[in-house]
Amino acid sequence: MLIFTIIPVNSTFAEVDKDILNRFDISETILDGKKAYIIENNSSGELKIKVIEEGNKTVYETYLDNKFIDKTIIFSNSNKILYYDNKGNKTLSTFDDYIIDTKDTINNKLTHTPPSDYYLIHREYSSTWDEWGYLYGKNSITYGPTKQIVFPAGTAVSTIIGVIGAIFTGGILGVVIALGATVVGATIDTAISGSVFSRQSRWDYEVTSQGELGLRTYKIDIDAKVINARNGEVSWVDLSERGDTRSWSDLVHAGIYNVILLN
């Protein structure tokens, strides 16, 4: 479970002792058939952020104890961000206000040169077919550009989640939590900032048995490194996983079966 630190809406940061700050659970769920994020605590109420896809835009609506607070609109074909409060007042901003692409060398030392050939990474015996299977693979790692993320005090939680969601597919909550935030009502009380870059790890696999190819497949894992500028803490956040997600053992047995089947 991810944790957000939240202050009751009728308090200020200076008035609340750090020892009695409420720790809110934040989770992802489905509301009215739509993705939503819920931040809740008995003393301060329940903050819901509904995610509504509408053509080329995504709307993030915020409700506190089921009362509409604000909404942020992110456009897939534009750099602009629209924010509306509960009185209909509009504020226009852009991604450039929160995100800065940089050529920072923070991840240079992590550069990885993948092996030129597949190498044996697992082998296993099948008592069912009385055969051995051998899993070979090669791994390649690539990194996305480093982005400096800055959200000033008073930024709506719906805007933060919307901006992070537009940058990364999946892992939104993890990135938000890693940056760190104190929330008053539906906005952050203090500025949050940090450096973020994504890492893609691709495994290409081949399984052989009896000297024959039984399976060829791949798996891609994408995560992000988040460095909290306030305290220097480093977090790795899982973003997405695609391709063949079976275990090494399952891949080997599938390859053995395929060779037996073809023979």
Residue 172 pLDDT level (bands cut at 50, 70, 90) = confident
Query: 107 by DSSP, 3-state: which?
Result: coil
State residue 36's pLDDT score.
Answer: 80
State residue 72's pLDDT score.
Answer: 95
State residue 257's pLDDT score.
Answer: 95
For residue 220, give every residue at least 6 positions away whose Cβ sits within 8 Å of its Cβ, in sequence order, or none.
Answer: 200, 201, 202, 203, 241, 242, 243
45: left (phi over 0), alpha (psi -120 to 50) or beta: left
**Average pLDDT of the chain?**
80
Contact (CB, 8 A) for 249 and 255? no
As a whole number, mean pLDDT of residues 167-186 equals 75
C-alpha–C-alpha distance, residues 263 and 260, integer Å? 5
Over residues 146-170, the pLDDT tens digits come to 889 999 988 998 998 899 888 876 6
> Among all chains, which residue has been given the structure tokens 């957000």?
4
- Look at residue 113 and tell me whether its pLDDT is greater than 90: no
State residue 31's pLDDT score.
Answer: 77
Determine if the pTM surpasses 0.75. Answer: no
- Residue among 244, 213, 204 nearest 133 (CA): 213
- Look at residue 173 and tell me whether its pLDDT is greater than 80: no
Contact (CB, 8 A) for 116 and 129? no
Angle between the 172-179 and 157-167 helix axes, to the nearest 10 degrees? 120
Poorest-pLDDT segment among 6-15, 69-78, 112-121: 6-15
Residue 115 pLDDT level (bands cut at 50, 70, 90) = very low
- Residue among 68, 72, 62, 76 nearest 92 (CA): 72
C-alpha–C-alpha distance, residues 252 and 246, integer Å? 10
- Look at residue 256 and tell me whether its pLDDT is greater than 90: yes
C-alpha–C-alpha distance, residues 7 and 188, integer Å? 10
Strands annotated E in 2-161:
2-7, 22-31, 34-41, 45-54, 57-64, 67-75, 80-85, 90-94, 99-102, 119-126, 131-143, 146-151
Over residues 4-38, the pLDDT tens digits come to 333 333 333 233 233 323 344 567 778 788 788 77
Contact (CB, 8 A) for 13 and 22? no
Compute, in degrees rounded to 10, the torsion defined by CA atoms 241, 246, 249, 254: -140
- Name the residue ranges covered by the structural domains of the chain: 2-262
Backbone angles phi, psi at 20, to 5 degrees: -115, 15
Contact (CB, 8 A) for 163 and 188? no
